[in-house]
Amino acid sequence: MSLMNDYNIYIEKMGAAFRAHDIDVSAGNLMFSEIALVKAEGGDWSQAVIEFKDGLEQLLAAKLSSGHHFLSKPYIRKFQFDIDETLLVAIVNEQSLEWYGRDGAEHAFDFLLESKRGLFRKSNRYLDLGGHQMVWACYYALQYGAKEVVSYEPSILNVAIGIFNCLLNGVIETVNVIPFAVLASNASAGDENSKMLVDFMSVPLRGFRIDRMRDLNFDFVKTDIEGYEFDLLRCPRYVDILKCAQHSHLELHLGHLYSRGIDVKMWIDRLKSAGLNGEELYSGRDMFEFLAEASPKGFYSFILR
CA pseudo-torsion sign 302, 221, 254, 186: negative
CB count in 10 Å sphere of residue 4: 10
Which of 148, 170, 172 lies closest to 160, judged by CA?
172
Quote the pLDDT of residue 195: 47
Give per-10-residue mean pLDDT for the chain (305 aa). 93 96 89 97 97 96 90 97 92 97 96 97 97 97 97 96 98 97 83 60 86 94 95 96 97 94 97 97 97 96 95
Quote the pLDDT of residue 200: 79
Helix, strand or coil, per DSSP, at residue 140: helix
Contacts of 117 (CB under 8 A, 6+ apart): none
